[in-house]
């Protein structure tokens, strides 16, 4: 398995300092040392890779099945002395937000990350944490905090991006010259907010459990870090909640503007209909073929009728335009 493309990194640490880069089949050499822990990273592993991990660390088959298949909801589950977590990642790719998954197996002496989809790698994070061995010495619990904190930090640019989009749509919404409705844009924005909230919101429960329970894996001195993550999660979810309310209000405004534009069209059609009713009424009288109509014998009757129709239509048009119907 050491040559398997799924394996990104296998490192062993003692007292917060990296002591070896090893192959999976040699992991037992480090797990036998009570002063060591291992940090293994995988990306899109296949069945063979997951079975090798299961055999090496005694992972539960249900957790291994979830980690291999992906498409799981964010959650925290306990399998004996091992914790299994599913975390959803979000990051900006140009003008779009892309989502991935990171599955984490956490034990007293090991931490394993399994990435699926367009999820950012943790190589740079690993390098930063290796530069502070005094913190890394506290074990896998601190590594887990670093991973979750890294994921949560990626949420903020995403929510900022959605806020910028909303402000752009809101500005366009109230432009007097706007001829098209922004309802579809606001609906897509609301969908993006719901997807981001579905990734962020479960972290509240996950962090709460890590703070209150699992003291054998997450030491007490590390719990303050998870409270910091919890504060960041609350800030993102609060912002997302406020934005959803504002988007809902904007959608109502957009619907109102559609109704107003439709009413304007109806008013104009009604105004022109009233103008056309003047010649229609006159011509209908002459179309009834009355025998005794004195003006028929008058030479100037035709020009008089045409002028009268024109004057009547002009006066009606002027009045309707003044009242805002045309």
Which residue, 182, 204, 186, is CA-closest to 194? 186
278 and 230 in one domain? no
Distance of CA 182 to the CA centre of its chain: 18
What residues contact residue 19 under an 8 Å CB cut-off, 6+ apart? Answer: 12, 13, 36
**Percent of the chain at pLDDT exceeding 70:** 93
Q: Kindly indicate the confidence band of residue 90, based on its pLDDT and cuts at 50, 70 and 90.
A: very high
Give residue 2's pLDDT band: very low, low, confident or very high (50, 70, 90): very low
Q: What is the maximal distance between C-alpha atoms in the chain?
A: 123
Q: Is residue 114 part of a domain?
A: yes
- 219 with 310, same domain: the answer is no
The predicted pLDDT at position 300 comes to 75
Q: Do 78 and 223 sit in the same domain of this protein?
A: yes
- Predicted confidence at residue 3, as pLDDT, reads 44
pLDDT at 294: 65
Final residue of a structural domain among 221, 241, 257: 257
Cβ atoms 10, 112 nearer than 8 A: no
The number of C-alpha atoms within 13 Å of 69 and in the hemisphere containing its C-beta is 9
Q: Are residues 267 and 200 in the same domain?
A: no
Q: What is the mean pLDDT of residues 198-221?
A: 84
One domain, residues 149 and 192: yes
Number of domains comprising the chain: 2
Highest mean pLDDT among 45-49, 66-70, 139-143: 139-143
173, 276: one domain: no
Residue 2 within any structural domain of the chain: no
pTM to 2 decimals?
Answer: 0.77
Instruction: Identify whether 281 is part of a domain.
Output: yes
Indicate which CATH number applies to the domain containing 26.
Answer: 3.30.460.20
C-alpha–C-alpha distance, residues 114 and 102, integer Å: 6
Closest CA relative to residue 119, chosen from 20, 188, 42: 42
Cα–Cα nearest to 230, from 205, 212, 213:
205
Domain that holds residue 268: 262-322
pLDDT at 25: 77
Q: List the beta bridge partners of residue 93.
A: 96
- Average pLDDT on 100-120 reads 89
Lowest mean pLDDT among 10-19, 71-80, 85-94, 283-292: 283-292
The pLDDT, as a whole number, for residue 292 is 66
Name the phi and psi angles at 184, rounded to 5. Answer: -65, -40
Name the residue with tokens 């904190």.
Answer: 149
| 261-303 pLDDT per residue, tens | 778 788 888 888 888 888 888 777 777 666 666 666 777 777 8
Q: How confident is the model at residue 39 (pLDDT cuts 50, 70, 90)?
A: very high
Provide the terminal-to-terminal Cα distance of the chain, rounded to the nearest Å.
Answer: 78
Residues 157 and 197 in one domain: yes
Whether residue 11 has pLDDT greater than 80: yes
pLDDT surpasses 90 at 93: no
Per-residue model confidence (pLDDT) at position 112: 93
Which 3 state secondary structure label does DSSP give 268? helix
When pLDDT is averaged across residues 244-257 and rounded to a whole number, the result is 84
Domain-terminating residue out of 227, 257, 287 = 257
Say whether both 56 and 85 belong to one domain: yes
pLDDT of residue 151: 93
CA distance 55 to 117: 25
**In degrees, to the nearest 5, what angle opens at C-alpha 154 toward C-alphas 152 and 158?**
115
């Amino acid at each position: 398995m050491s040559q398997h493309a799924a394996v990104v990194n296998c490192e062993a640490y003692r007292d917060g300092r990296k002591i070896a880069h090893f192959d999976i089949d040699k992991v037992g050499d480090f797990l036998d040392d009570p002063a060591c822990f291992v940090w293994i990273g995988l990306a899109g592993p296949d069945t063979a890779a997951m079975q090798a991990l299961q055999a090496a660390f005694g992972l539960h088959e249900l957790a291994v099945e979830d980690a291999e298949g992906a498409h799981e909801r964010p959650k925290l589950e306990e399998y004996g002395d091992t914790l299994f977590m599913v975390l959803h990642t979000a990051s900006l790719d140009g003008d779009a937000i892309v989502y991935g998954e990171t599955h984490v197996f956490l034990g007293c002496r090991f931490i394993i990350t399994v990435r699926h989809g367009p999820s950012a790698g943790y190589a740079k994070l690993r390098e930063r944490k290796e530069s502070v061995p005094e913190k890394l010495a506290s074990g896998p619990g601190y590594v887990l905090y670093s991973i979750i904190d890294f994921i949560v930090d990626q949420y903020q640019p995403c929510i900022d991006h959605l806020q910028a989009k909303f402000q752009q749509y809101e500005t366009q919404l109230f432009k007097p010259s706007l001829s098209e409705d922004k309802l579809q844009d606001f609906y897509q924005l609301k969908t993006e907010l719901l997807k981001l909230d579905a990734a962020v919101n479960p972290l509240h429960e996950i962090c709460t459990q890590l703070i209150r329970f699992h003291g054998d894996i997450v030491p007490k001195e590390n719990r303050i870090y998870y409270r910091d993550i919890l504060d960041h999660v609350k800030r993102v979810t609060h912002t997302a909640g406020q934005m959803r309310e504002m988007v809902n209000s904007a959608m109502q405004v957009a619907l109102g503007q559609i109704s107003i534009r439709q009413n304007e069209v109806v008013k104009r059609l009604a105004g022109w209909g009233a103008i056309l009713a003047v010649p229609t009424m006159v011509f209908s009288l002459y179309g009834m073929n009355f025998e005794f109509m004195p003006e028929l014998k008058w030479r100037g009757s035709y020009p008089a009728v045409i002028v009268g129709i024109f004057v009547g239509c002009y006066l009606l048009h002027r009045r309707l335009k003044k009242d805002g119907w045309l």
